[in-house]
Amino acid sequence: MTLFSDADILLRERQINESGAPQDRKRMEKRKLNALIALCESPNCRRQTLLAAFGEASKPCGNCDICDGKWALFNGAVAAQKLMSAIHRTSGRFFSGHLANLLAGRATEAIRRHGHDLLPTFGVGKEFKPAEWRSIFHQLHAADLIVQDQEDRDRWILTGAGRAVLKGEAPLTLRGEIPLSGGRKAGVLHTLEEIAVAQAEDLVPPSEAFTPVKPGGETAPLTANQNRLLAALKAKRLEVAREQKQPAFIIFHDKVLIEMARRRPKTNEDMRAIPGIGADKMARHGAVFLKVIANCDGDS
């Protein structure tokens, strides 16, 4: 159920901008438009979302397209972190279309005019198309992770809930752009697998959304035994990623797996000492990966 196309949204925005109405009025119209888009993009039950907009709590209806599971859902924490970083870097002054181009690495005229092609966030979100980033933006808005600050010319800012997701303290489920209906279902699952494979090989660590890549500082290459373990760890990561239909780097970054191969942790404590393995990752994946390490022959 797509109520809006991007063209509709852009047309309505242009109408508002060119209406000749006072600034206050334009901002109010844009807020109304955004609230409506958010409603359509919600990853939660349609009925629940609609009633929530009127301040009424309800349970998922079990009948709408979302409840029916027609949309691919994915762990959206990293995508949200990238988008929030882009909002922060641009002082909250830009809307979904511009941020989508920024993240997808499209050096449009507007991106270059603002020097946004020079930001560390430029192109860190190539795993999604601009249209998908626009959808993610609207979903973050729908989930109240980002709001417009009416005291400051409707600048986009993070809410408390948004900051919790940014810091990795709260989980976030998002909805994919493509409805999983009919013959397209197989195609989408195939694409998800491709994403997992590609990212296992060639991933952009989410941390790079926040810090520019520093050249140099390379550590010693792995030994043959460590490389064998690394291959086993990557295979396990791919298996887990496919099971959970998530990009591989959501499970563990390459950097973390390399460190695992280097240190060969034997206990939970050893594992937790590796940078990038927090309590949450440990609880989810620690045991499985410790087992891979225990079962892999060869000393370090």
Query: Would you count residue 61 as binding Zn ion (CB under 5 A)?
Result: yes
| Least gap, CB of 185 to Zn ion (angstroms) | 19
Site for Zn ion in 246-265 (CB under 5 A): none
d(CA 170, CA 167): 8
| Least gap, CB of 297 to Zn ion (angstroms) | 51
Query: Would you count residue 64 as binding Zn ion (CB under 5 A)?
Result: yes
Query: Would you count residue 292 as binding Zn ion (CB under 5 A)?
Result: no
Site for Zn ion in 174-213 (CB under 5 A): none
Among 58-66, 99-107, 190-198, 224-232, the segment contacting Zn ion (CB under 5 A) = 58-66
Query: Would you count residue 45 as binding Zn ion (CB under 5 A)?
Result: yes
Among 43-51, 137-145, 176-184, 250-258, the segment contacting Zn ion (CB under 5 A) = 43-51
Per-position x/- string for 136-175, each x denoting binding to Zn ion as judged by CB under 5 A, each - no binding: ----------------------------------------
What are the CA-CA distances from residue 298 to residues 55, 219, 222, 264 (Å)?
60, 21, 13, 10
Residue the block writes with tokens 């989930």? 143
SS3 45: coil
| Least gap, CB of 205 to Zn ion (angstroms) | 36
Among 62-70, 101-109, 126-134, 253-261, the segment contacting Zn ion (CB under 5 A) = 62-70
Query: Would you count residue 52 as binding Zn ion (CB under 5 A)?
Result: no
Query: Would you count residue 73 as binding Zn ion (CB under 5 A)?
Result: no
Among 33, 67, 197, 203, binds Zn ion (CB under 5 A): 67
Contact 144, 161 (CB under 8 A): yes
Among 63-71, 110-118, 126-134, 216-224, the segment contacting Zn ion (CB under 5 A) = 63-71
Closer residue to Zn ion (CB): 2 or 15: 2
Which two three-digit tokens encode residue 35? 């609230």
Query: Would you count residue 28 as binding Zn ion (CB under 5 A)?
Result: no
| Least gap, CB of 79 to Zn ion (angstroms) | 23
| Least gap, CB of 49 to Zn ion (angstroms) | 9
- Angle 12-114-146 (CA atoms, 0-180°, nearest 5)? 55
Which two three-digit tokens encode residue 160? 């408390």
Which residues are registered as beta bridge partners of 149? 155
| Least gap, CB of 143 to Zn ion (angstroms) | 16
d(CA 92, CA 119): 14
Among 23-31, 59-67, 85-93, 196-204, the segment contacting Zn ion (CB under 5 A) = 59-67
Strands 146-149 and 155-158 turn out to be antiparallel
Closer residue to Zn ion (CB): 179 or 205: 179
* Residue 4 burial class via C-beta count within 10 angstroms: exposed 0-12, middle 13-18, buried 19 and up: middle
Query: Which ranges constitute the DSSP H helices of the chain?
Result: 6-17, 23-41, 46-53, 77-89, 96-104, 109-113, 130-142, 160-166, 184-201, 224-244, 248-251, 254-263, 268-272, 279-281, 287-295
Number of residues in the chain: 300
Residues that bind Zn ion (CB under 5 A): 45, 60-61, 64, 67
